[in-house]
Amino acid sequence: MRISEFARQTGLSSETIRFYVSKGLLKPKRGTVGGRNPYQIFSADDVTAARMILLQKSLGYSLDEIAALSKEYRSGERSATRTAEVLRAQIGKLEDRRAHLDNALAFLHGKLAWIESGKQGDSPLLQAYECQDPTSLSVPAP
């Protein structure tokens, strides 16, 4: 199928699909039609790959992590031990992100309560909440 049909089946925009192809996340075949730039032909396997990318993104993986994990999977290097290692690392990353969000929510609830009370007492200070940048956390490289 051509990119327009692939976009309809996956819910991805053509621009996103082209970006994923340029990153090596999707690997369509080159067709014989289209002149100097033959059409990219996508298969049912590419639809599955796109859905896996969306799933992995929803689980907090970066595109670089998805590319590395996909390369590892395609090369046949994935073992149950390695899969468990990757999953444990991602669980830890998401738990850290949850802690960050919990702290941010506690600050916002405190700030809202302070405002709704007519700003009585000291304003909650963000420094009083233990926050860290959740984007600095990553899965170890394969």
Question: Binning pLDDT at 50, 70 and 90, where does residue 137 land?
Answer: very low
99 C-beta neighbours (distance < 10 Å), count = 14
With 0.85 as the threshold, say if the pTM is over it.
Answer: no
Cα separations in angstroms, 71 against 12, 66, 68, 75, 78? 21, 8, 5, 6, 10
Q: What is the rounded CA–CA span in Å between residue 139 and residue 50? A: 21
**Residue 38: pLDDT above 90?**
no
| Cα-based torsion angle of the residue sequence 27, 32, 33, 39 in order, rounded to the nearest 10 degrees | 10
In this predicted structure, what is the pLDDT of residue 128?
A: 67
Beta carbons within 8 Å of 95's beta carbon, 6+ residues apart: none
Percent of the chain with pLDDT over 90: 54
- Candidates 71, 23, 34; CA nearest to 3 is 34
In this predicted structure, what is the pLDDT of residue 113?
A: 93
Where exactly are the structural domains of the chain? Answer: 3-58
**pLDDT tens digit string along 43-84?**
999 999 999 999 999 998 999 999 988 888 878 777 888 889
Does residue 29 sit in helix, strand or coil? strand
Report, at the CATH architecture level, how domain 3-58 is classified: Orthogonal Bundle (1.10)
